[in-house]
Amino acid sequence: MDKIKEIIKEFNFIGNFVKYEENNQGNINKTYIIVYEKNNQEHKYLLQKINSNVFKEPYLVMKNIELVTNHIKKKLEENNDTVHKTLNIIKTKDNENLFTYINSAGEKEYFRAFDYIDNCISYDNLNDGNDPQSLAYEAGKSFGLFGRMLNDFPANLLGETIKDFHNTKKRFNDLLLSIENKVTNRSFEYPKKIIDLISMSKECSVIVEELGKTIPLRVTHNDTKLNNILMDKNNGTGISIIDLDTVMPGSSLFDLGDGIRSACSNSFEDEKDINKIYLNLDLTKSYLKGYLEEMALYLNQNEINYIGLSIKILTYELALRFLTDYINGDTYFKIKYAKHNADRFNNQYILLKDIDNKLDEINKFVKKTVKDIKKPHLS
Ligand code: GN1
Ligand code: MG
């Protein structure tokens, strides 16, 4: 029998199996949409094979997700919030969060399932939507709400699913190692850009240096790409945050910086037309407004002061990661063509330079917005 059909049988899906199809979004895990039917009603599920090359402890990933989604469910209930949703894990028939499949090579493959959240859409780029400004606001608000709902969740209950995930200093050292190790000779393609990246490494280590000191450790998502938000197909409201594999202790600045990098950069990560690659300031302001409306009252002054810089740092970090993977011979990110990681690197680099020129304006906007939000609460 077809392997996926065999695996589907291991989960507590309700009704009769109709069909499944592969979904190609995401750079890491493999995803399938599963359709079941009961009493003439369709019910969809999501089945995912966890990339265990990236996530070395799949059970820890699922434990974190279970804890965090239970907490969010409780918050939504307390607030009588029926609009927002969170992931709902479908257990296996053995009541486990994961099914382990042993493949023909004798290796373990880890599968998990969730309810499919219907009537939603996720965007790779805000310009794909009808009203990019309000979508940017909703995107910021969605991750802000996520942060706010987890504000009282003790970070020490969660394990680190990928060690040093946003350790920008370590990411920088990894780049130097890849150049030294010479699995390929690809570093010779970018001598000037590499020197430039080296010159920025100190400035871009600020969050890592201050984390747990002047920047508090919180429960954060850590992969706040635009397409990790499900939005209502009809009115664009942010409904749910997905892809919770990297939820772990971190900084609010990782989430906000990466969110703006991803949502407001005006183009796809592998855009071919380099004229389209820049940070769209209007979208950035809408995103920030949405985020800060939810989170401003919870952030400390240092977190607020570093917001502009965090967009630069997270873009720098991803530029390092794409380049490192390219030099290492494309072992981490899924690629669709030979120079995919090279294109992704070049784009993040262009974006980085553009963000640098816009930091003053972003910082001014943050200051004013936070002041406006806090004002009514002072009286
Ligand atoms: C990966 O899984 P996906 O596509 O949402 C990566 C992120 C990167 C992103 C860049 C676990 O995210 O850190 O920012 O690609 N996730 C992991 O596209 O490495
Ligand atoms: Mg991911």
Contact indicator for 119, 236 with CB cutoff of 8 Å: no
Residue 377 pLDDT:
61
**Cβ within 8 Å of residue 186, ≥6 positions away:** 326, 327, 342
Residue 180 pLDDT:
98
Q: Note whether 76 and 214 are same-domain residues.
A: no
Q: Comparing 148 with 378, which gets the higher pLDDT?
A: 148
Q: Which is the closest atom of ligand 1 to the Cα of 225?
A: 5
**What is the Cα–Cα distance from 115 to 43, expressed in whole angstroms?**
8
Which of residues 69, 90, 118 is at a domain's end?
118
Which of residues 88, 118, 148 is at a domain's end?
118
Q: Which is the closest atom of ligand 1 to the Cα of 27?
A: 4
What does the DSSP 8-state code read for residue 39?
A: T
From the CA of 70, how far away is ligand 1's center (Å)?
A: 24
Whether the per-residue pLDDT at 379 is higher than 70: the answer is no
Q: Note whether 91 and 137 are same-domain residues.
A: no
Whether the per-residue pLDDT at 378 is higher than 80: the answer is no
* CATH number for position 319: 3.90.1200.10
Domain range for 326: 121-378
How does the average pLDDT of the chain come out, rounded?
Answer: 96
Whether the per-residue pLDDT at 48 is higher than 80: the answer is yes
Q: Note whether 174 and 311 are same-domain residues.
A: yes
Q: Which is the closest atom of ligand 1 to the Cα of 269?
A: 18
User: Which residues sit with their C-beta closer than 6 Å to ligand 1?
Assistant: 26-28, 54, 223, 225, 228, 243, 246, 269, 318
Give per-residue pLDDT as tens, 77-91: 999 999 999 999 999
Averaged pLDDT, 336-345: 97
Number of domains in the chain: 2
Averaged pLDDT, 165-193: 98
Which of residues 99, 118, 137 is at a domain's end?
118
Whether the per-residue pLDDT at 8 is higher than 90: the answer is yes
Give per-residue pLDDT as tens, 341-377: 999 999 999 999 999 999 999 999 999 999 999 986 6
CA-nearest residue for atom 5, ligand 1, is 26
From the CA of 359, how far away is ligand 2's center (Å)?
A: 27
- Model confidence at 26, pLDDT cuts 50, 70, 90, reads confident
Q: Distances from the Cα of 282 to the Cαs of 126, 259, 270, 289, in angstroms?
A: 12, 15, 22, 11
Give, as residue ranges, everything with CB less than 5 Å from ion ligand 2: 28, 223, 243
